[in-house]
Amino acid sequence: MLAFNHIGSKDNPLVKRIVRLANESKFRHSEAQAVIYGEHLLQEAIKYGLVEQVLILEDAVTKYQDLINSLTNPQAIKLVPIEIMRKLNILDSLSEIVAVIKIKSTLAEPSLTQDSLVLENIQDPGNLGTILRAAYA
């Protein structure tokens, strides 16, 4: 079995970062990362190569051995005691495994081969009408 790094303090920068990712939408978007909880979500993230960090409850390592073996970067695995896992969990039930994943943009780069108008967060339909009329003119 591999030797894993252990995090023993709630003040560890990685722990603080994961708590912030879990609680702050703006931070998640700016960092292009998210926090996932549980074995099944982690299996899917591994399948698509999205996993950056994995924190496992130190008492649950043997339970997740197959999952650990499927990771391409075993250095990304950290073991934590239950006190830290409780701090990391925002769910009602305690998850034994938490991961930080990359958020990939699902939008393709637009190919603007002719005159185009790009709009975002239009809140007033009247503004949209004015913009469309001005663009058409």
Specify if 18 maps to a domain.
yes
Specify if 115 maps to a domain.
no
pLDDT exceeds 90 at position 91: no
Q: How many structural domains is the chain composed of?
A: 1
Give the Cα separation of 77 and 111 in Å (integer): 40
Give the Cα separation of 86 and 90 in Å (integer): 8
pLDDT exceeds 80 at position 110: no
Give the Cα separation of 53 and 13 in Å (integer): 13
Strands 51-57 and 77-80: parallel
| C-alpha dist (Å) from residue 50 to 77, 89, 101, 114 | 14, 20, 5, 35
pTM value surpassing 0.85: no
In tens, the pLDDT along 52-67 reads 999 999 999 999 999 9
Report the CATH number that the domain containing residue 95 is assigned in CATH: 3.30.1330.30
Specify if 116 maps to a domain.
no
Specify if 14 maps to a domain.
yes
Specify if 9 maps to a domain.
yes
pLDDT exceeds 70 at position 11: yes
Specify if 80 maps to a domain.
yes
